[in-house]
Amino acid sequence: MTTPFDWEMMRLIRRLLLLVATSIILPLSAFAQSDDVTYCNKLGALASRYIGSAGAEGRMAPDLNVLGAVDDCNKGKAAKSIPYLEKRLRDQRITVPPR
């Protein structure tokens, strides 16, 4: 037979398990996000270097959409920018770096 004390102990154990699980999962997700930002910055560097249009005096003018995607990477919106930058690089037949 369970007593009120047993129920309180089970509640306490559940809360502790939830706390432990949360403390393990949150740093892992932050690490994955930093990897995405690093990868996004690599893509942005390639795209900024190789994708553009002919500007004044024969120089290459940067593509404003690429600049916007790189800015999004720096703001932590890598999930939105990575597919766009990968597509733009592949469209120009530029090899995308491994993730």
Place of tokens 């994708």: 51
pLDDT tens over the chain, length 99 residues? 667 777 777 777 777 666 665 665 555 444 445 688 889 989 988 888 888 766 666 677 778 888 899 899 888 888 899 999 999 999 999 999 988
Are 61 and 55 spatial neighbours (Cβ–Cβ below 8 Å)?
A: yes
